[in-house]
A and B are shown apart, each in its own frame.
Chain A
Amino acid sequence: MTTTVFLYAAIYTATLVFLLACVVRTVRYARLPLHLRWELYPVPHEETVRAKHGGSYFEATDWWEKPIPFNLLGELKSMLPEMLFQKGLWEFNRTMWFLSFPFHFGLYLLIGSTALLMARALLSLLTPQLAAGGIGLILHYVYAAGWLAGAALTVAGALGLLIRRLTDKELRTYTVPGDIFNLLFFVVTLGCLLTGYLLQPQGAPKALALAKSILTFDTNLRIPAPLATGLVLGALLVAYIPLTHMSHFIAKYFTYHSVRWDDRPSKRGSVLERRVAEYLTYRPRWAAPHVGADGARTWADIALANPARGDKK
């Protein structure tokens, strides 16, 4: 029972840490100041005719007098293949794609299957009759298959990436112990989970029972040691990911939507202009004399000064 309590505590804590860390990181990036425009073309939400060749609304005469259409379909057509299949890596680094894609897609399958399992557990707690029927059985096979395939793909991908990192001269220069640890963490955790799942003794609780007991904090469940070890490692991994650069699933939203594709023009009286007006009151402290930032002058004062003509303000 103590083991089970410890395991549940680890799972609950890890889930909480994961969510909190993701929120903190997201809020941190979202609250950073609006930067100067730094977009990179092609920008897929440009008008279809322009997006095809990577063009922008700057190609139109008097563009500011016309509505700038937002091509949502174009953006989705660019985003989805990137999110699901790593299209960019396929185009620009095929060798890496063959390792990175299974790793990431395996993770998607694991996350999806786990979500499905938890949904079924919840369903069976709320409406047992419905979950016990054909739908439940179908769900069982879907998440079991998804979980096994996901784990196999992720382990294969992580091992492949690990071997490549250690053997490829170009990657090795930039590989630090943390990178090796991260990949090994995935391999060991999923290895333990797979072993624990596949080699369960007779009478051991099935996945659904485990999920239900986690949801209801049923500590009477006896979980075999190999599976429990895998689950604790899994919990640790889940908590660890958002604390590292592996949280790039959050960063990528900002690098694309707030930087590469942010082509919003500033208009008089707009929200953008109001935000910049606030930044212009900041008092920087750059030390080079030509900047003239003494901590008292604002960004606007500095921008309006002309050091070449002797005026500092």
Chain B
Amino acid sequence: MKKEKLRLSDMSKAEKVPLVHLENADLMPLPAPLDDPAKDHNWTPLSAQVQEKYECFLDDTCAVSVPQPKSRAEEEELVRKFLSGLEKLFSRENNWTFLQPLLLTIEHCAKCQTCSEACHIFEASGRNELYRPTYRSEIVRRLYFKYVKRGGLVSAWQHGDVKLNWPLVARLIELSYRCNLCRRCAQTCPIGADNGLVAHELRKLFSQEMGIAAKELHDHGSMLQLKVGSSTGMNKEAVKDNIAFIDEDISEKTGVEVKTPWDVEGADILLIHNAGEILAWPENPGAFALVLNAAGISWTMSSELAGYDSINYGLWYDDAQFARVALQHAEAARKLRVRKIVLGECGHAHKALSVVADRLLTGDFNIPRESSMTLLRDIVLGGRLKLDPSRNDFPVTLHDPCNLVRLMGVVEPQREVVRKLCPKFREMEPHGVDNYCCGGGSGFAIMSGNNFPDWRFHVSGRKKLEQVFNAFQDCLEPSIPKYLCAPCSNCKGQFRDMLAYYDLWNRHRILYGGLVELIVNAMTEVKPGFIEWEWR
């Protein structure tokens, strides 16, 4: 059956039925042996209960689960709130943080569609119109000229029109969570417009005005972090207990005594991990402690609120929450009077605290922030450790977290480490600032409600999956263990789930892990075999 082409006006369709439906055969083909759509996973359909209870009529999935309004009056009230938020997005007092780039993008897109070719989601979906970077932006652009600029008929003729109703708003809420915010599209725009930013600003509107956000980012994310100190739910006692356990475990495993220093005033470095590492991949913070101690670095961790969890989910959906968490991080460093903050292996934490929060951290809060990639590079290349690259004699490829490379410009340090320590290193293509997102960016890696993972693996992660396969094309046999180095906690989460979804550990022995683990694995004073070739 021939599928009808999606139009912009379809977003306002009153019928609460999904606008698009994807079949495996529609998607961008994957390399062999994943090239048969018939053998790919079937998508789990949304349950009838979910469809009855929530506004899930954009596509095959539902990321935000907005409860259905109970009456027409409630729908109208939500539309009114949306309009009020839209006006605020374009006002100085309410949105000074991003007003300039937003306005430039909204007022000057030439609609040449150059950005579409750069978008991994659009490509992976089989070029489905709904996922085109400009589809979402064009709706917002038309609403802006109609309702914010109050352009009237001439404006409609010049910029196009769109009917505003609750179905459109409900669909926009979901559509703002179909973009990884990787900004690869913006990189190619001849004008410099940024469709990723439009998705970001829409999420802000829904959160800051309507109180609507993905619960993994808000309730279980930034709010939990501000309440107990970490989105993992760990309070300071729990995190200290866990780290003590990790120290013990790593000491035993490596034969090197490891002790993590806590709350050391005047230390050179405050190291902040993504706390998810502590629970999901304890070998990563353990390896950091071992390396920093062995290199003679003066460092500490902090047990202050949020001082032991570098995540800042506000980056993806809410400026107020973003600023609050960034200030907590700076406050932890200020109290300890450290010289600098070093961010562990977490891409979004890097960009949040080093780049985006830079202008918010004024006065005493302006404490220098540095990447752990740089620190690890200095340690490895500076000869501060005895290293034997032959211990890493297995194929290694490097995933570039978007937040580290395209959005922060930290590209080479991690490569210098891998080149020095991994004789069988191979790049993905493209890489560096031209990389593709893992598919878990902008919070997707921690969003697993309904059947969202199906969309995350089939669509947003598909391009990266292709890249990983291509990088290991010469050694796919399961007899050869392969290491996918992803120096980012959220990316690792996406890889863990996606590799498991396609059973790539069992079928091809592709393991994922961080950068610091490769360093410890090569340290001669450590018992061989720090990297354990088993699925985790």
Give chain A's interface residues, CB within 8 Å of chain B.
29, 32-43, 46, 50, 53-64, 86, 88-89, 91-93, 96, 100, 169-171, 173-179, 244-245, 247-248, 251-252, 254-256, 258-260, 263, 265-268, 272-273, 276-277, 279-280, 282-293, 299, 302-309
- Knowing A54-B405, A93-B112, A259-B101, say if A59 contacts B411 (CB, 8 Å): yes
Instruction: Kindly name the residue among B94, B108, B197, B407 whose own CB sees the greatest number of chain A CB atoms within 10 A.
Output: B108
Question: Are B362 and A37 in contact (CB-based, < 8 A)?
Answer: no
Question: Are B158 and A244 in contact (CB-based, < 8 A)?
Answer: yes
Give the segment of B34-42, B50-58, B367-375, B484-492 that binds chain A.
B367-375
B134 touches A (CB below 8 Å): yes
Contacts of A277 in B (CB 8 A): 362
For the complex formed, measure the closest distance between the CB of A21 and the CB atoms of chain B, giving whole angstroms: 13
- Knowing A34-B359, A54-B409, A286-B88, say if A251 contacts B104 (CB, 8 Å): yes
Q: Name the contact of B409 in the complex, choosing from A43, A284, A285 (C-beta under 8 A).
A: A43
Give the docked Cα–Cα distance between A89 and B191 (Å).
10
For the complex formed, measure the closest distance between the CB of B25 and the CB atoms of chain A, giving whole angstroms: 20
Contacts of B211 in A (CB 8 A): 287-290
Contact pattern, B 84-115, Cβ under 8 Å of A = 1, otherwise 0? 11001000111111111101110111111110
Give the segment of B64-72, B222-230, B463-471, B513-521 that binds chain A.
B222-230
Q: List 15 A-B contacts (CB under 8 A).
A: A29-B103, A38-B197, A41-B405, A58-B354, A59-B371, A93-B190, A171-B112, A173-B129, A245-B110, A254-B100, A284-B88, A286-B88, A286-B320, A290-B211, A307-B226
Question: Are B97 and A248 in contact (CB-based, < 8 A)?
Answer: no
B26 touches A (CB below 8 Å): no
Contacts of A39 in B (CB 8 A): 355, 407, 409
Contacts of A309 in B (CB 8 A): 226-227
B159 touches A (CB below 8 Å): yes
Query: Given A306-B226, A307-B226, 10 more contacts at CB 8 Å?
Result: A34-B100, A54-B411, A91-B188, A96-B113, A260-B192, A263-B409, A284-B88, A284-B93, A286-B208, A308-B226
Question: Are B111 and A175 in contact (CB-based, < 8 A)?
Answer: yes
- Knowing A252-B192, A254-B100, say if A266 contacts B361 (CB, 8 Å): yes
Give the docked Cα–Cα distance between A284 and B320 (Å).
11
Question: Are A255 and B406 in contact (CB-based, < 8 A)?
Answer: no
Question: Are B104 and A259 in contact (CB-based, < 8 A)?
Answer: yes
Contact pattern, B 113-150, Cβ under 8 Å of A = 1, otherwise 0? 11011100000000001000010001000000000000
Contacts of B374 in A (CB 8 A): 58-61
Tally of chain B residues near chain A (CB < 8 A):
98
For the complex formed, measure the closest distance between the CB of B206 and the CB atoms of chain A, giving whole angstroms: 9
Give chain B's interface residues, CB within 8 Å of chain A.
5-8, 81, 84-85, 88, 92-101, 103-105, 107-114, 116-118, 129, 134, 138, 157-160, 183, 186-194, 197, 207-211, 218, 223-227, 318, 320-321, 323-324, 327, 340, 354-363, 366, 368, 370-371, 373-375, 378, 405-413, 432-434
Contacts of B108 in A (CB 8 A): 245, 247-248, 251-252, 255
Q: Name the contact of A36 in the complex, choosing from B98, B111, B116 (C-beta under 8 A).
A: B98
Question: Are B104 and A35 in contact (CB-based, < 8 A)?
Answer: no
For the complex formed, measure the closest distance between the CB of A92 and the CB atoms of chain B, giving whole angstroms: 4
For the complex formed, measure the closest distance between the CB of A28 and the CB atoms of chain B, giving whole angstroms: 9
Q: Nearest residue in A to B404 (C-beta to C-beta)? A: A58
Question: Are B412 and A53 in contact (CB-based, < 8 A)?
Answer: yes
Question: Are A41 and B370 in contact (CB-based, < 8 A)?
Answer: no
Contacts of A36 in B (CB 8 A): 97-98, 356-360
- Knowing A92-B117, A248-B108, say if A287 contacts B81 (CB, 8 Å): yes
For the complex formed, measure the closest distance between the CB of A176 and the CB atoms of chain B, giving whole angstroms: 4
Q: Nearest residue in B to A265 (C-beta to C-beta)? A: B358
Contacts of A303 in B (CB 8 A): 320, 323-324, 327, 360
For the complex formed, measure the closest distance between the CB of B377 and the CB atoms of chain A, giving whole angstroms: 8
Q: Name the contact of B94 in the complex, choosing from A53, A54, A251, A285 (C-beta under 8 A).
A: A285
The 5 closest A-B pairs by CB, nearest first: A56-B409, A255-B192, A54-B433, A178-B158, A308-B227
Contacts of B186 in A (CB 8 A): 40, 260
Contacts of B358 in A (CB 8 A): 36-37, 265-266
Q: Nearest residue in A to B320 (C-beta to C-beta)? A: A291
Question: Are A284 and B94 in contact (CB-based, < 8 A)?
Answer: yes
Question: Are B223 and A307 in contact (CB-based, < 8 A)?
Answer: yes
Contacts of B375 in A (CB 8 A): 61
Question: Are A178 and B157 in contact (CB-based, < 8 A)?
Answer: yes
Question: Are B223 and A282 in contact (CB-based, < 8 A)?
Answer: no
For the complex formed, measure the closest distance between the CB of A198 and the CB atoms of chain B, giving whole angstroms: 31
For the complex formed, measure the closest distance between the CB of A246 and the CB atoms of chain B, giving whole angstroms: 9
- Knowing A61-B375, A176-B158, say if A170 contacts B116 (CB, 8 Å): yes
Question: Are B88 and A41 in contact (CB-based, < 8 A)?
Answer: no
For the complex formed, measure the closest distance between the CB of A90 and the CB atoms of chain B, giving whole angstroms: 10
For the complex formed, measure the closest distance between the CB of B169 and the CB atoms of chain A, giving whole angstroms: 15
Contacts of A170 in B (CB 8 A): 113, 116
For the complex formed, measure the closest distance between the CB of B330 and the CB atoms of chain A, giving whole angstroms: 11
Question: Are A42 and B433 in contact (CB-based, < 8 A)?
Answer: yes
Q: Name the contact of A248 in the complex, choosing from B95, B158, B191, B225 (C-beta under 8 A).
A: B191
For the complex formed, measure the closest distance between the CB of B79 and the CB atoms of chain A, giving whole angstroms: 14
For the complex formed, measure the closest distance between the CB of B274 and the CB atoms of chain A, giving whole angstroms: 18
Give the docked Cα–Cα distance between A13 and B160 (Å).
29
Q: Nearest residue in A to B222 (C-beta to C-beta)? A: A308
Q: Nearest residue in B to A295 (C-beta to C-beta)? A: B93
Give the docked Cα–Cα distance between A62 and B405 (Å).
18
Give the docked Cα–Cα distance between A302 and B320 (Å).
7
Give the docked Cα–Cα distance between A280 and B101 (Å).
19
Contacts of B432 in A (CB 8 A): 53-54
Give the docked Cα–Cα distance between A63 and B441 (Å).
27
Question: Are B192 and A256 in contact (CB-based, < 8 A)?
Answer: yes
Q: Nearest residue in B to A276 (C-beta to C-beta)? A: B359
Question: Are A32 and B363 in contact (CB-based, < 8 A)?
Answer: no
For the complex formed, measure the closest distance between the CB of A280 and the CB atoms of chain B, giving whole angstroms: 8
For the complex formed, measure the closest distance between the CB of A107 and the CB atoms of chain B, giving whole angstroms: 14
Q: Nearest residue in B to A99 (C-beta to C-beta)? A: B112
Contacts of B6 in A (CB 8 A): 173
Question: Are B94 and A58 in contact (CB-based, < 8 A)?
Answer: no
Instruction: Kindly name the residue among A38, A61, A267, A291 whose own CB sees the greatest number of chain B CB atoms within 10 A.
Output: A38
